Structure 1
Amino acid sequence: MKIAVTGGTGRVGRFIVAEAIAAGDDVLSLSRPQYSLGDCPLLQGCDALVHCAFQHAPGRYRGGEGDDPAGFIRANLEGSIVLFNAAKDASVSRVIFLSSRAVYDGYAPGTTLTEDMPPRPTSLYGNIKWQAEQALDAMQDAAFSAASVRATGIYGPGGDHKWSSLFADFLAGRQIDPRRGTELHGADLARAVRLLLTCTDGGAFNASDILLDRHDLLARVAEITGTPHAPPAPSDTPVSVMRCDRLRALGWCPSGWPGLEQVLPVLLHRG
């Protein structure tokens, strides 16, 4: 299979590229100038497209528009629609779009989030993801199928991994605020994308795994590193957990706590 991937060197896309290469696929990595201006001849001959790229202020997704919401919309919504149309024009038969759990932000904390619930985004980021999902879904026909993956926070190896600053602050003895949230190993997301590339099922698929408290994460970091610093208190903030029924029906099984345990020494450069 020849797969085009946008954002293939980013925190999320790199896992998808690695999974595709391991499966023996021919991977084409696309940068924004190559796909955001209309016709994209590089897509000719591709069987599938995975769209992971997203332009935002460093380290921010919700609120990632900074002081340029118009540019944020132009790059991420209009640019995505241009890309989807280019893929269809190039006879790409399958598109996977990386959406976000942010489309559910309007639900009360502690709500169990299922794929049949109507999206309620509250941020510009979430709205753009939801509008892009709808635009892509409307393009489907007998020769062009698509699916959107509503992913939670992604962790995993890499020099710029999501907890780099958190771990550095904790090991330096700086104050860490209590917090908990849902997390998913990047390799598990990549396996979900692989499953979706090999079927024609459309619509939205939730992708999430563990509910992780910083107290538990940093307590384990302390055990691994021997730091004397105490983790923050456990958080009592309610968190909305996503059910992933549609992916699980396809045979997807994320790595859970064992996956986190396996990768922590790598993230801490001790394995």
Structure 2
Amino acid sequence: MTRVLVSGGAGFVGRFIVEHLMQNGHEVIVGGRTPPPTGCFSRPVDFVPLFLDPDLNQSAAFDDAEGFVHTAFEHVEGKYRGGEGDDPDGFRRANIDGTVRLFEAARTAGVKRCVFLSSRAVYGSRLVGTVDETTPTAPDTLYGDVKAIAENRLRALATENFIPASLRVTGVYGAAGPGRQHKWTELFAGYLDEKPIQPRIGTEVHGDDVGAAVRLMLEADSATVRGEAFNVSDLLLDVRQILSVVQRLTSCPHALPEAATAERYLVMSTEKLRRLGWQPGGFERLVTTIGDLVRNSRPA
């Protein structure tokens, strides 16, 4: 069993990671600005205050931790791209300087493994087709730039005893937890209310599959993951495909939106991660999850 500190562990993606690690034998501490709400996790977890503030010495948060998973991100609520709002300098300071200060504190405290939750945004939006981890990063948003810089700063901290890895994660789907709405809540409601739905397309991965990727970074041979970045993605989906599952499950008679074209969409290859044994849930998991989301959103 490994004791792992997860920053932002009560967030949408962080919660999946915490649950996956707990279910696979790891002891988890959640770090964040405030304690997680009651019932956030399937069982109680320890909590330590943790902030994206480069002026704070937070080394005590890493006492007895063998792993550190950094999912916390300072941004305008509901936004990642554009999450800087009207304070790009503060955005950079928190998400670069604050993040690196945590990486350094973890290494100094003797943490052995460090996993950074990065983003497909490091590749930018100008590229099309399929990219792998050898493709040069080319962020064209502040969000992507911040993630790419943090990746590079973490990689530079690697030693024989400090094993960092970055996961370039695409859109994450799944149940949002008690009292929260899942990412497709408005999409499902709009379709069922027969509101116009614009065609759009994106790549998705289930939150538990992200948790499995994180666990691999903590458990895989150190030489395999030290200083490496891995793409984390599963399905290329347009809203028509998503809503076709909703249509079938609810017997809704409303027409589906037009299909979106994937002609100029960027897809990340995940072969590098799959070679370590990672196997996402694919379309079967998507259908099962949408079924759960639909059932749990219906009035009792």
- Is the aligned partner of 1:184 residue 2:205? yes
Q: How far apart are the structure 2 equivalents of 1:164 and 1:114?
A: 32
Structure-to-structure mapping, 1:67-106, within 5 angstroms: 67-106=86-125
Match of 1:13 in 2: 14
Match of 2:183 in 1: 162
Aligned match for 1:194, one of 215, 226, 233: 215
Deviations 1:105-159 (A, max 9, x none): 14433x2111001100000000000000000000011110100000000001123
Q: How far apart are the structure 1 equivalents of 2:51 and 2:107?
A: 13
Aligned-residue Cα RMSD (Å) equals 1.4
Task: Determine helix, strand or coil for the equivalent of 1:112.
Answer: strand
AA of the residue aligned to 1:34: L
Q: How far apart are the structure 1 equivalents of 2:119 and 2:267?
A: 13
TM-fit CA distance, 1:160? 2.4
- Is the aligned partner of 1:145 residue 2:163? yes
Q: How far apart are the structure 1 equivalents of 2:257 and 2:160?
A: 53
Match of 1:210 in 2: 235
TM-fit CA distance, 1:71? 1.5
- Is the aligned partner of 1:266 residue 2:295? no
Structure-to-structure mapping, 1:25-44, within 5 angstroms: 25-32=26-33, 34-36=50-52, 37-44=56-63
TM-fit CA distance, 1:270? 5.1
Q: How far apart are the structure 2 equivalents of 1:144 and 1:97?
A: 13
TM-fit CA distance, 1:227? 2.2
Identity of aligned residues (%): 44
Q: How far apart are the structure 1 equivalents of 2:94 and 2:192?
A: 37
Moved more, 148-157 or 168-177: 168-177
AA of the residue aligned to 2:289: V
Task: Determine helix, strand or coil for the equivalent of 1:261.
Answer: helix
Match of 2:73 in 1: 54
Q: Is the 8 A contact 1:52 1:98 kept in 2?
A: yes
Q: How far apart are the structure 1 equivalents of 2:57 and 2:193?
A: 48
Q: How far apart are the structure 1 equivalents of 2:59 and 2:197?
A: 46
**What runs of 5+ residues in structure 2 fail to find an aligned partner?**
34-48
**What runs of 5+ residues in structure 1 fail to find an aligned partner?**
none
Q: How far apart are the structure 2 equivalents of 1:9 and 1:165?
A: 22
AA of the residue aligned to 1:233: E
Task: Determine helix, strand or coil for the equivalent of 1:136.
Answer: helix
Q: Is the 8 A contact 1:11 1:160 kept in 2?
A: no
Moved more, 246-255 or 100-109: 100-109
Structure 1: which 4+ aligned runs deviate by more than 6 Å? none
- Is the aligned partner of 1:220 residue 2:220? no
Relative to the length of structure 1, the TM-score reads 0.96
Moved more, 135-144 or 225-234: 225-234
Match of 1:63 in 2: 82
Task: Determine helix, strand or coil for the equivalent of 2:114.
Answer: strand
Q: How far apart are the structure 2 equivalents of 1:28 and 1:234?
A: 43
Length, aligned pairs only: 270
Aligned match for 2:127, one of 79, 96, 108: 108
AA of the residue aligned to 1:5: V
